[in-house]
Structure 1
Amino acid sequence: MKTLTATLVADGTSDRTLLPIIQFLLDEWSPVPHRTLFAEGLHIGSLTTRLPRALQLYPCDLLFIHRDAEAAPAKDRQQEIAAATAQLANPPTHVCLIPIRMTESWLLLDQQAIRTAAGNPKGTTPLDLPPIKSIERLADPKARLFEALNAATDCTGRRKRQFKPEAARHRVAELMSLPTLRQLPSFENSETQVKQFFETYE
């Protein structure tokens, strides 16, 4: 049986945090074995420059393209991605991953995942996470996530200074689940694209 290969082209190196989330989607919808590659070192420059190089180095059957919406409407990012893929000679099917603001907004959904990633799964310190409906309107979800991770450690002094929320956020992604992520429209949009791809996959 053929193994399906997916490649992630992301905005930055820290966005490899999306790999476990892509794995969730493929586990849910792919009828065949699959693997996911990260287009390492291809996060600088325009998509029209990066995508051909990514496909040369990391050829795939399904291309995940990540662009944070930041201050722009998600539809603008979708159009940007569509314009870039239209210039490819033989483009694979692509899926847009467009978190509102930035990737970390998706990681603010699961309090228990944050506590576990911080090494303190039974902690009770309030994390002051935003309501789900306001997560995608946060100005700086990365800062909010790091604050929550630091609070979740329940550490003080030297131990708190040694804690690295930058590394812990990857563990948060690994500990999340599809039902949790489906609470955000931006994620649901990505999942719909994956589902549609496999409806016609042979």
Structure 2
Amino acid sequence: MTLRVLYLCEGTSDAGLASHVEEIAEEAGVEVTVSAPDLRWLRERVGHSVSDKLRAARRLGDDYDLAALQRDADRGPASARRDEIAVAVDRVWPGLRHLPVVPVRMLEAWLLLDEAAIREVAGNPRGRIPLDLPSPSAVERVADPKQRLKDTLAKASGCSGRRLNVVQKRFEENRHRLLELLDREGPVAKVSSWQVFVNDLLAALRAAS
């Protein structure tokens, strides 16, 4: 049996997490197909809330065995986002089996730990400028992981002036590449919210199989 999984992310640059869902499922011996629809292509404007995205995805007419719904915790508790997701599913798509995906504080925190990957994506793999990366135990306390990641990529590039401007303009592309390169067995495996995501996913896959 192949499970049909819907992945709805907070931003389009988070779509790369879908491949990790597929690979985690494969490692667990569960066959899945993951759909991560780009709702920007719909004729009507889709809001940013989980409810808005679920409503738009449901109108596409597909059926799913499981939905993975991503919402960054930002500055509030992860439990508040999990409750928000549960309420949205109950209102918009009752009965849909789902799991919340709640990075703390932002998904960028999961990308802020692998020095080799950051240097490679920044285009300077042999760079020696200290990056002062946070530890896995401290990264969820970084006030603004997105800005910290942007600054770190700029520093890792070793560029200045116009070349630095080019690097900074590629941030979304570089962020997407970092998500593709994310080593699930690397430092992120020690981050609490990542551990919760993986454990929730495995439990949901077992329940849906």
- TM-score category of the 2 structures, normalised to the smaller one: 0.7 to 0.9
In structure 2, what is the Cα distance between the partners aligned to 1:20 and 1:89?
24
- Flag as ranges the 4+ runs of structure 1 deviating above 3 A: 88-91
How far is 1:38 from its partner?
A: 3.3
Match 2:201 to one of 184, 194, 199: 194
Deviations 1:108-133 (A, max 9, x none): 12111111111222222211211221
Choose which of 99, 106, 109 in structure 1 pairs with 2:103: 99
Higher alpha-carbon deviation: 86-95 or 154-163: 86-95
Structure 1 residues 34, 89: closer, same or farther in 2, change over 3 A?
Answer: closer
Other structure's SS at 1:55 match: helix
- What amino acid is aligned across from residue 65 of structure 2 in structure 1? D
Q: Given that residues 39 and 56 in structure 2 are in contact (C-alpha distance below 8 angstroms), is that contact kept between their aligned partners in structure 1?
A: no
Of the three residues 77, 80, 85, the one matched with 2:81 is 77
Structure 2, unaligned runs of 5 or more: none
**How many aligned residue pairs are there?**
201
Question: Which residue identity is paired with 1:179?
Answer: E
Superposition pairs of residues 37-52 of structure 1, within 5 angstroms: 37-41=36-40, 44-52=47-55
Partner Cα separation in structure 2 for residue 127 and residue 165 of structure 1: 17
Aligned partner (choices 158, 174, 178) of residue 180 of structure 2 = 174
**Distance change >3 Å, CA 52–CA 20, structure 1 → 2:** same
Q: CA deviation at 1:86?
A: 1.6
Q: Is 1:28 aligned to 2:27, yes or no?
A: yes
2:128 to 121, 124, 129: 124
Counterparts in 2 of 1:126 and 1:89: CA distance versus 1, 3 Å: closer
Q: CA deviation at 1:73?
A: 0.7
Supply the distance in 2 between the matched residues of 1:35 and 1:82 (Cα, whole angstroms).
20
Q: Using a 3 Å threshold, how does the CA distance of structure 1 residues 122 and 99 change in structure 2: closer, same or farther?
A: same
8 Å CA contact retained: 2:104, 2:193: yes
CA contact (8 A) 2:65 2:97 kept: yes
Q: Say which SS state the counterpart of residue 185 (structure 2) adopts.
A: helix
Code of the aligned partner of 1:120? N
2-structure distance, mates of 1:162, 1:100:
29
User: What's the TM-score, normalizing by structure 2?
Assistant: 0.85
Preserved CA contact (<8 Å) 2:6 2:36 = yes
Kindly indicate whether the alpha-carbon contact (under 8 Å) linking 2:8 and 2:68 is maintained by their aligned counterparts in 1.
yes
When the two chains are superposed, the root-mean-square deviation of aligned CA atoms in Å is 2.2
Query: CA contact under 8 A between 2:2 and 2:32: conserved in structure 1?
Result: yes
- 8 Å CA contact 1:3–1:35 kept in 2: the answer is no
- Matched to 1:182, the amino acid is A
Q: CA offsets per residue over residues 158-201 of structure 1, 9 Å max, x none? A: 22221122210111111112112221111111111111122234
- 1:54 and 2:57 are equivalent in the alignment: yes
Distance 1:85 1:104 in 2: 25
Distance in 1 of aligned mates of 2:143 and 2:71: 16
Secondary structure of 1:200's aligned partner: helix
**In structure 2, C-alpha distance between the alignment counterparts of 1:35 and 1:26, rounded to whole Å:** 10
Q: Comparing 173-182 with 58-67, which one deviates more in the overlay?
A: 58-67
